[in-house]
Amino acid sequence: MKSRLSFSLRLPFSRSYATRLPERPPYRAPDPLRNYPDRWQELPEISSTFIHRPPPTAPSPLSFTTSPASPLLKEGPTPVVGALPPTVSKEKGAKPRMSDEDIAKMRTLRREDPAKWTRGRLAREFNCTPWFVGKMVTLAGPERRKALESREEAHAAARAKWGERKSLQADIRKKRKEFW
């Protein structure tokens, strides 16, 4: 009579799951010489075989091997006939050079009232860039400190309106910056 093994004894010896995930085998490209016999030729005079294997990418339209004429020698694009559409942005012409009198006037206005005559307002007034105003008219020590203090007061008033979470995140960033 055949002895029966109990279910508990057979369980450890049987495996019913995959040991690893199935993998696709790596790609093996077909040999191009087998499909294209014109890519190789025997050279009996030097007893060698010449094999031409082009790159696997598509040829560029500007390739010198497929089109030997230089793209620089080809004719340019055909000229557009008719009116062109309008430009998206306005063309900014060159700003005229400022005279020494205008620069002196700019400096006096800025020193009289820096809160009223800001860099942007002076730039609009004298038709130049705010960067140029900043280079030509810098605030002196006490005036600069006063301007920085007023700006800091405005920023502090804006920070006072922040919630708890935003204030905490700003403090964390400030603390992290100390460790740089």
1-59 pLDDT, tens digit each? 555 555 555 555 566 666 777 788 888 887 766 777 666 777 778 877 777 766 666 66
- Beta-bridged to residue 92, according to DSSP, are none
Phi, psi angles (nearest 5°) of residue 7: -60, -35
Going by C-alpha positions, the residue among 103, 109, 138 that lies closest to residue 121 is: 109
pLDDT over threshold 70, residue 173: yes
* Cβ atoms 145, 165 nearer than 8 A: no
pLDDT greater at residue 78 or residue 178: 178
pLDDT over threshold 60, residue 70: no
d(CA 30, CA 77): 41
pLDDT at 98: 86
116 Cβ contact partners less than 8 Å away, ≥ 6 residues apart: none
pLDDT band for 95, please (50, 70, 90 cuts): confident
pLDDT greater at residue 59 or residue 93: 93
DSSP state of 52: -
- Give the pair of three-digit tokens for residue 163: 């919630």
* Cβ atoms 120, 130 nearer than 8 A: yes
CA–centroid distance for 60 within its chain: 26
pLDDT at 22: 78
- Give the pair of three-digit tokens for residue 93: 């012409």
Pick left, alpha or beta for residue 127 (phi over 0 → left; psi -120 to 50 → alpha; otherwise beta): left
Q: What is the torsional sign of CA 71, 74, 80, 84?
A: positive
